[in-house]
Structure 1
């Protein structure tokens, strides 16, 4: 009887030991599975998005070629040679830097020229976008900001039905919102007479630069003038950065007649803005939309090349 009791006790103890071991094994397996899940989940939630492609910005006042500035700022050369100031820094082509607190994040430059017929202003601004959300990359944040700018300017989406209908209505001369559309009936900026109307407004201004400069400007204008039927309304552009758009506004208020061109493009995590405007003293001669748009695009292409070289 004692042997049988001992045997039962031993068997019971052995069973309890085995059960405890199985429970321990089961608990360890569950804990290991939990440990594998947590690091994976933690690494996924804290994984930082890649940094932006660009870490610095080009020097803005030197980003536009002097030859380009001479085409955009008629009369500026006369200001330079006729000022009598021997200080090279007085050159209107050197521009005036925009005051910023961090030139690695935001830079800009302004130029101006004036003639008896009016004034022109050129401004370039470049912003390097940085995302403070680790889940959003700098490039993605720049894309969001660019889209907000385009939406605020009422730029139609490229290839959308509304964009196509807008383009058709603009070509019929029914557009009313953009400055380019409002000019078409008067100055014919999208017609073959565009170049001639521009030339009739500029000879006096070009005369300030001399005969050679006038011939050069006219040659460039003929080469850059769009063909009849080209769309000059606010629109998406191709071939400049990753994405770009151009806006055109004509103001004929009592304060003065002026046309303002705004071109914005994005390349990776950088957003660049080109603003080019012309003010005229003679309200009978509207600034030529085709000419101003083409020259603004030439500046944007130069800026984009600075980033494509990096």
Structure 2
């Protein structure tokens, strides 16, 4: 009787080859880098990889205008005030800030600037989209919502009369007065009367202003204005406030708003350079 030849190891080798082929072949349409597989591109990164030095972000001439009390100080004290105080942070690539404060006989002015660089760790979500979510959270906390057409701050930014002054807005129509666009009664005309909190046009990718005069029943006449804007993956917050020396005095709300907006626009220009 003839016996079949048997070569040790051949059967095992054949089984291994078949097994590897089954595991390594994969799906012809799978994301394994082979031709025919889908190409998944990660979301694009944000424009900004670093943040500016916050205490040097505001030009000295502008800083002196925002803090008039500093000009009355001796040179060494003035330098200390204008140098500012850096905010405590554990990652200067992600979040930085600086604050300034100057006392004058009539009032105390304070300023704070914060920069936050947002990074998305989800490859399907871009840094810009993540930053937009951070910005929208701040906008919601301020009690504002985003309509289809953001409300322009023409009267404040240009110095136009509060009643619209016959100027032309988008589409050639006259700009609405504060009472029409915000639902608040027209200002009495005093310098302390300011437009209410609102969304802003032409500042970064999105922006709003929050006006915070003293609360009812408060004896302090402090007035704070915040301007928050987003440009790409960076969210910037400007807080500008005045505390009069006497409780009978009222801060000039319009001036605070105009100067806070002017600084925010300057910072946006600097970031875009």
If the length of structure 1 is used for normalisation, what is the TM-score? Answer: 0.64
The aligned length equals 224
Higher relative contact order (CA 8 A, sep 6+): 1
Deviates more, 1:279-288 or 1:144-153: 279-288
Aligned-residue offset at 1:307:
1.4
Aligned-residue offset at 1:78:
1.2
Q: 2:208 aligns with which of 232, 245, 251?
A: 245
Deviations 1:212-268 (A, max 9, x none): xxxxxxxxxxxxxxxxxxx81211112221111111011154451111100000000
Corresponding residue SS for 2:29: helix
Aligned CA RMSD, in angstroms, stands at: 3.1
Deviations 1:119-154 (A, max 9, x none): 111000000001121110111100111111111111
- Is 1:93 matched up with 2:82? yes
Partner of 1:121: 110
Distance of 2:150 and 2:236 partners within structure 1 = 28
Alignment of 1:188-199 (within 5 A): 188-189=189-190, 194=191
Q: 1:175 aligns with which of 184, 200, 207?
A: 184
Aligned-residue offset at 1:174:
5.9
Q: Is residue 150–residue 200 contact of structure 2 (8 Å, CA) maintained in 1?
A: no
Deviates more, 1:282-291 or 1:108-117: 282-291
If the length of structure 2 is used for normalisation, what is the TM-score? Answer: 0.72
Corresponding residue SS for 2:213: strand
Q: Is residue 151–residue 198 contact of structure 2 (8 Å, CA) maintained in 1?
A: no
- Is 1:109 matched up with 2:98? yes
Alignment of 1:1-310 (within 5 A): 34-39=27-32, 43-44=39-40, 47-81=41-75, 85=76, 90-159=79-148, 170=179, 175=184, 184-185=187-188, 188-189=189-190, 194=191, 232-252=195-215, 253-254=217-218, 256-309=220-273
Q: Is residue 249–residue 260 contact of structure 1 (8 Å, CA) maintained in 2?
A: yes
Stretches of structure 2 that go unaligned for 5 or more consecutive residues are 1-23, 153-175
- Relative to structure 1, the CA distance from residue 161 to residue 125 in structure 2 (aligned partners, 3 Å threshold; closer, same or farther) is closer
- Relative to structure 1, the CA distance from residue 268 to residue 120 in structure 2 (aligned partners, 3 Å threshold; closer, same or farther) is same
Q: Is residue 126–residue 271 contact of structure 1 (8 Å, CA) maintained in 2?
A: yes
Distance of 2:90 and 2:37 partners within structure 1 = 39
Corresponding residue SS for 1:48: coil
Deviations 1:75-97 (A, max 9, x none): 1121243xxx4x88x43111111
Stretches of structure 1 that go unaligned for 5 or more consecutive residues are 1-30, 199-230
